[in-house]
Amino acid sequence: MAEEDVPHRPGRWRSGAESKQRILRTARELFGRHGYRGTTVRAIATAAEVDPAMVFYFFGTKQGLFAAAIEMSGAVPPAIESIFTGGLDGMGDRIVRTLLENLDKSDRTPLVMLTRSAPTDEQSEALLREFIDREITGRLAAMLDAPDAALRAGMVNVQILGLAVARYIVRIEPIASASVDELAGSFGPLVQRCLTGRTALPG
């Protein structure tokens, strides 16, 4: 699994695989742009230049296609790794940069697809929650090893979600048009503060 770009090997493949990949690629794009409910199977089929029936032939159901689409085919995980290797020093900056660079590159990343779909689709909501718990909260909390580790990780999650929504979904200025460097400059220290700065533990 996870062959990005299988470019029409001349010796001729069993030829169906190419269609399947085109469908997947298109699905990721449209789910990323309009979310699960805002995307129809027909729209995907049309954009991928195949018959709608073919989509069901390959993926069974719309949910099946969505599941296949978010199966992060190399998109995020390696990038996420690089965040955690290197310790807490400068991690705020790395988190912001990695997030933005990957999301800028393509709006078909699992995080965007899930963030777009979660608000109107309960399945996606659960998937996104699990995704964040597993990929971010879990690792962060383990790494921080402090009594308020969970809260700190939660604060980082708020930054990530807020940044993703403001820049890619609602497109609020100047967040939407700022360069990665600019945002790293302003949000890097902010995230770092969530990780290692002072925290008010009231009471």
Partner DNA sequence: GTCTATAATTAGATAGAC
Partner DNA sequence: GTCTATCTAATTATAGAC
Site for its own copies, residues 39 to 98, rule: CB under 8 A: none
What whole-number distance in Å separates Cα of residue 137 and Cα of residue 153?
A: 5
Is residue 125 at the binding interface for its own copies, with CB under 8 A as the rule? Answer: yes
Is residue 26 at the binding interface for its own copies, with CB under 8 A as the rule? Answer: no
**Least spacing, CB of residue 125 vs its own copies, in Å:** 6
Is residue 106 at the binding interface for its own copies, with CB under 8 A as the rule? Answer: no
Is residue 137 at the binding interface for its own copies, with CB under 8 A as the rule? Answer: yes
The single residue among 108, 187, 192, 195 that binds its own copies, judged by CB under 8 A, is 187
* 62-97: burial string, b at 16+ Cβ within 10 Å, e else: beebbebbbebbebbeebbeebbeeeeeebbbbbbb
What whole-number distance in Å separates Cα of residue 67 and Cα of residue 97?
A: 27
| Number of chain residues interacting with its own copies (CB under 8 A) | 54
Nearer to its own copies, 78 or 138 (CB): 138
The single residue among 6, 17, 53, 172 that binds its own copies, judged by CB under 8 A, is 172
Question: Cα torsion at 91, 97, 102, 105 (round to 10°)?
Answer: -170
What whole-number distance in Å separates Cα of residue 161 and Cα of residue 169?
A: 11
* CA separation, residue 170 to residues 9, 33, 104, 162, 167 (Å): 40, 12, 15, 10, 7
Residue 83 corresponds to which amino acid? I
**Least spacing, CB of residue 119 vs DNA, in Å:** 16
Nearer to DNA, 60 or 78 (CB): 60
Site for its own copies, residues 5 to 24, rule: CB under 8 A: none
Can you tell me which residue has the tokens 């990695």?
Answer: 98
Is residue 178 at the binding interface for its own copies, with CB under 8 A as the rule? Answer: yes
Binding site for its own copies (CB under 8 A): 34-38, 115-121, 125, 128-129, 132-133, 137, 150-151, 154-155, 157-163, 165-166, 169-175, 178, 181-182, 185-190, 193-194, 199-203
